[in-house]
Structure formats: C-alpha cells, structure tokens
Amino acid sequence: MTAEELKSVDVARSVDARGTACPGPLLEAKKAIGTIKAGDVMEILSSDEGTKQDIPKWCGKQGHEYMGWVEENGYFKVYMKKK
C-alpha cells in the first residue's frame, strides 16, 4: 500500500507507543490487539526505528496482516490488520 492509501485507512484502534523504547511498542501492540475485532485495522505510533521491523515479524508469526508504515514528524505509524 502507498503512504496515501495507508493514511486513508479506517483505523479501529490507535496505539501511541512513542513514550517507550524496544520492546515497549510490541508490548503495547500485544496488549491492544485483544481489544479489536478480526479484520479491524490498528496503527502503532512509535519513535523507535526497530518497530518498523518488529511489527511485521510479529504479524507474520501471529497471522495478522502487516500493511506498511508511514513516517510522520519524528515518529512512525505502523499499520496492521487483525486476523
């Protein structure tokens, strides 16, 4: 997906993990995933570079769909869809 497409996606839950470093963002995402329904999209806000690599790995293992990331001012938004 392109950055524009990602930005226009309906997000069911936004997880702001900008206040934590590795493995904080992954942990925040894990805690939040239980609160959304299958097929819902979640975005994870992180200022930790590693999150861009870690979330796709997590999605791959859990069977969620990793959608991509966009860069904002000083942080990243990583998008994924729950299985």
Contacting positions for other proteins (CB under 8 A): 19-24, 26-27, 29-30, 54, 57-58, 61-62
For residues 22 and 63, what is the distance between their CA atoms, to the nearest angstrom? 22
Any catalytic annotation for residue 59? no
Annotated active-site residue in 22, 49, 53, 83: 22
Of 14 and 30, CB closest to other proteins? 30
Of 8 and 34, CB closest to other proteins? 34
Strand partners, 51: none
Per 3-state DSSP, the chain is made up of helix, strand and coil in percentages (nearest 5) of 35, 30, 40
Point out the residues that are catalytic: 22
